[in-house]
A and B are shown apart, each in its own frame.
Chain A
Amino acid sequence: MNELIKSIQVSIWFMFLTFPIMVIRVNAIEKSVIWRWENLALVGVGSFVLSFIWRWALRRKEAGDAAAASGGKEAGRLSALLENPALRLPIQVVLLAVFCTIPLFVTTYQTNILISFLLYVVLGLGLNVIVGVAGLLFLGHAAFYAIGAYSYALLNQYFGLGFWVALPIGGVVAALAGVALAFPVLRLRGDYLAIVTLGFGEIVRLLLENFSDITGGPSGISNIPRPGLLDMQLSVAGANIYIYYIVLALALVTIVAVTRLKDSRIGRALQALREDEIACEAMGIDRVGVKLMAFGLGTAWAGFAGVVFAAKTTFINPASFTFFESAIILSIVVLGGMGSNLGVILGSAFLVLLPEYMRAFSEYRMILFATAMVLMMVFRPQGLIPEKRKTYTVSDPELNAATGGQN
């Protein structure tokens, strides 16, 4: 009964709150007002139902927190399935086979979608090194994507450099820019760092817009050549498929590299940095060096992705690299699970593929992702696939004897 009253209160409150925005639409030119009362009913019913779910979920979360505090462990079913060692190899082989052959069966349009999915995988994995592994909230990723894209476009326009030469250069330039940004922000605390990187991202975009003599200003650079294959002139569709394979290779390299990095001495230092900076220094880790590495290692991938993006679209302008883009990449990392590479891949799939294949949702794509970002933070801050800690095995017969071979 009490619950019912609460939900009715919530429902009334939301109907009141959303009334002007949801119901009234003024047409100032025709001097007419459209009243959309159906929306009010929608909000009322929706918030009534959702408030039940909200309170239930909050209670469940509190119970879960209590259980976790008393030592209970909840293993995600999805991640358990995906990380089952027996299934792991077959799944990987099947996925690889599917991704290798898929462009032969689908249209150019769909190949394009897959290309953008893979680009987001690369971007997300790069950002994951900085945000997920090293715990540095970074809101300027799109700037480094832009740096990669413009590196190729400008090098091509002024020096005639080809895609394959520009690809490593774009990555290196982005990494250097990342390190250069990292220098002044080293001392900053988490939330200040976030804002500074956001500011930096916007500065890069505004500079690209304003240096019109070199960058073409807001109208950008067009006629960027696609990568050539052994001097062959490819058709648009062919070139697209070729780019698909390039991105696929890039994504695979990224996955392997980022995974290896995470499990290495450097990766451990990054994770320790996320936990406690002062203890890190006291344990002999060069905080400055490690942070610079985190930035460089994260932004390099954005640079690579940027070069490929420029080659794919053959046209770039600053509008593609707004804060909005950074926010999308961040939400991929957050939804997927900070620190979890598998999570990031799944996050990009959700963000790019779902709206494309469920047309009805595409209009609501961003609002759903925004909602998911909030809900994830409230109910499941670890993301869809929580970061999996590497477990080390030691061969110690004494220990095995002591615990009855359990370990």
Chain B
Amino acid sequence: MEPVLDVTAVSMNFGGLRALNDVELKVNSGEIVALIGPNGAGKTTFFNCITSIYTPTEGEVWFTPKQGVRTRVNGMKPNLVTALGMARTFQNIRLFKNMSVLENVMIARHCRTKSGILGALLRSPAVRREEKEIVDRSYELLKYIGLHKFYNEQACNLPYGAQRRLEIARALATDPALLLLDEPAAGMNPQETESLKHLVLKIRDEMDMAILLIEHDMSMVMSLSERIYVMEYGCLIAHGTPAEVSSDPRVIKAYLGEEAHA
């Protein structure tokens, strides 16, 4: 079976700076994979490259949607990548702050619905039906993620942890085959992290989804992921199961060693 995400030798230059150097990564369907590394290792840049917010300088990003054909996505417009079935959250939360919680999720249904200007003006029964479907599906997702009580609140009034969960709900609303989570547990307390862990597992199991996450919380990474990639200074330095990675001397030196000092 084809991997959902297949990244071959991706490099990214900013001017003279090489932020990513020959990064190779695969995510199989139904798998939870983690990408770890010290701050500034290029993890978020890597996310931006695979979601096509940046176009990588070299290398290729291949994506296989559910029941779809393997497609090269580097250089594609970001919205088309999302439409193919790749959805992400942001490290620095990027919710639509002044819109309601429900609307945030509804917007993510945009690429799965199609009523246009004429539809909006005429409000035909088909358009109204679609609109109701958007509301229902979005609410259902909020309920799934446990934020339905706040559906009419403004997104910026949610507590921090809830905002991170809302970002996940929003990403799920685009019906992705691959979910990319950029530090989903950052700023969460231990209880919130614990419930986030269950949520991620639940999403994978119930929604048949592959998940790639960037995370600093080691206990979460170790207990969740099937495979781990480790980056440092834009290069991959190790890759394997949690057990293999945590015993790799280079990782200990680069990553855990630094942790021990800090």
Residues of A within 8 A of B (CB): 71, 257, 260-261, 263-269, 271-272, 275-276, 278-287, 293, 297, 389, 391-392, 394, 396, 399, 402-403, 407
Contact A285 B152 (CB under 8 A): no
Contact B121 A269 (CB under 8 A): no
Stretch at the interface among B12-20, B110-118, B210-218, B221-229: B110-118
B103 at the interface (CB under 8 A from A): yes
Give complex CA distance A269, B113 in Å. 12
Query: What residues of B have a CB within 8 angstroms of the CB of A266 in the complex?
Result: 115-117, 120
Give, as a whole number of angstroms, the nearest-CB distance from A261 to chain B: 5
Query: What residues of A have a CB within 8 angstroms of the CB of B70 in the complex?
Result: none
Query: What residues of A have a CB within 8 angstroms of the CB of B116 in the complex?
Result: 266
B256 at the interface (CB under 8 A from A): no
Give complex CA distance A407, B107 in Å. 22
Contact B174 A407 (CB under 8 A): no
Give, as a whole number of angstroms, the nearest-CB distance from A25 to chain B: 49
8 of the cross-chain contacts (CB-CB < 8 Å) are A261-B117, A261-B120, A268-B99, A276-B95, A283-B171, A284-B83, A392-B103, A392-B135
Give, as a whole number of angstroms, the nearest-CB distance from B187 to chain A: 18
Q: A260-B120, A278-B94, A399-B148 are in contact. List 6 more A-B contacts (CB 8 A).
A: A264-B131, A265-B113, A279-B90, A282-B79, A284-B112, A389-B100
A275-B120 contact in complex given A265-B115, A283-B174, C-beta closer than 8 Å = no
B96 at the interface (CB under 8 A from A): yes
A268-B106 contact in complex given A281-B53, A283-B174, C-beta closer than 8 Å = yes
Contact A264 B119 (CB under 8 A): yes
Contact A279 B96 (CB under 8 A): yes
Partner of A392, one of B83, B102, B110: B102
Contact B121 A283 (CB under 8 A): no
Query: What residues of A have a CB within 8 angstroms of the CB of B113 in the complex?
Result: 265
Contact B82 A284 (CB under 8 A): yes
B63 at the interface (CB under 8 A from A): no
Contact B78 A281 (CB under 8 A): yes
**Within residues 178 to 235 of chain B, which ones have a CB less than 8 A from any CB in chain A?**
none
Query: What residues of B have a CB within 8 angstroms of the CB of A281 in the complex?
Result: 53, 77-79, 82
Give complex CA distance A349, B262 in Å. 64
Give, as a whole number of angstroms, the nearest-CB distance from A399 to chain B: 6
Contact A275 B96 (CB under 8 A): yes
Query: What residues of A have a CB within 8 angstroms of the CB of B131 in the complex?
Result: 264-265
Give complex CA distance A280, B139 in Å. 20
Contact A286 B148 (CB under 8 A): no
B51 at the interface (CB under 8 A from A): yes
Chain B, 52-93, contact with A by CB distance < 8 Å: what is the 0/1 string?
010000000000000000000000011100110001101000
Give complex CA distance A98, B186 in Å. 59
Give complex CA distance A281, B148 in Å. 25
Interface size grouping (class) on chain B: 35 or more
Give, as a whole number of angstroms, the nearest-CB distance from B130 to chain A: 8
Give, as a whole number of angstroms, the nearest-CB distance from A67 to chain B: 13
A396-B148 contact in complex given A260-B121, A293-B117, C-beta closer than 8 Å = yes
* Closest residue of B by beta carbon distance from A389: B100
Give, as a whole number of angstroms, the nearest-CB distance from B230 to chain A: 25
* A-B interface, 9 closest residue pairs, ranked by CB to CB distance from nearest: A284-B111, A264-B120, A284-B82, A275-B96, A279-B94, A281-B78, A283-B108, A272-B107, A394-B139
Query: What residues of A have a CB within 8 angstroms of the CB of B78 in the complex?
Result: 281-282
A285-B96 contact in complex given A264-B115, A265-B115, C-beta closer than 8 Å = no
B39 at the interface (CB under 8 A from A): no
Query: What residues of B have a CB within 8 angstroms of the CB of A287 in the complex?
Result: 79
Contact B117 A282 (CB under 8 A): no
Contact B110 A260 (CB under 8 A): no
A268-B120 contact in complex given A275-B96, A281-B53, C-beta closer than 8 Å = no
A282-B151 contact in complex given A265-B134, A266-B120, A392-B100, C-beta closer than 8 Å = no
Contact B99 A282 (CB under 8 A): no
* Closest residue of A by beta carbon distance from B108: A283
B250 at the interface (CB under 8 A from A): no
Contact B151 A394 (CB under 8 A): yes
A276-B121 contact in complex given A265-B134, A281-B78, C-beta closer than 8 Å = no
B241 at the interface (CB under 8 A from A): no
Partner of A285, one of B53, B107, B136: B107
Give, as a whole number of angstroms, the nearest-CB distance from B73 to chain A: 13
Give, as a whole number of angstroms, the nearest-CB distance from A125 to chain B: 14
Give complex CA distance A275, B117 in Å. 21
Give complex CA distance A286, B120 in Å. 18
B123 at the interface (CB under 8 A from A): yes
Give complex CA distance A384, B139 in Å. 32
Give complex CA distance A171, B113 in Å. 28
Give, as a whole number of angstroms, the nearest-CB distance from B142 to chain A: 9
* Closest residue of A by beta carbon distance from B155: A275
**Within residues 123 to 161 of chain B, which ones have a CB less than 8 A from any CB in chain A?**
123, 127, 130-131, 134-136, 139, 143, 148-149, 151-152, 154, 157
Contact A283 B135 (CB under 8 A): no
Give complex CA distance A267, B107 in Å. 10
Give complex CA distance A71, B157 in Å. 8
Give the residue among B98, B115, B170 with the most A Cβ atoms within 10 A. B98
B97 at the interface (CB under 8 A from A): yes
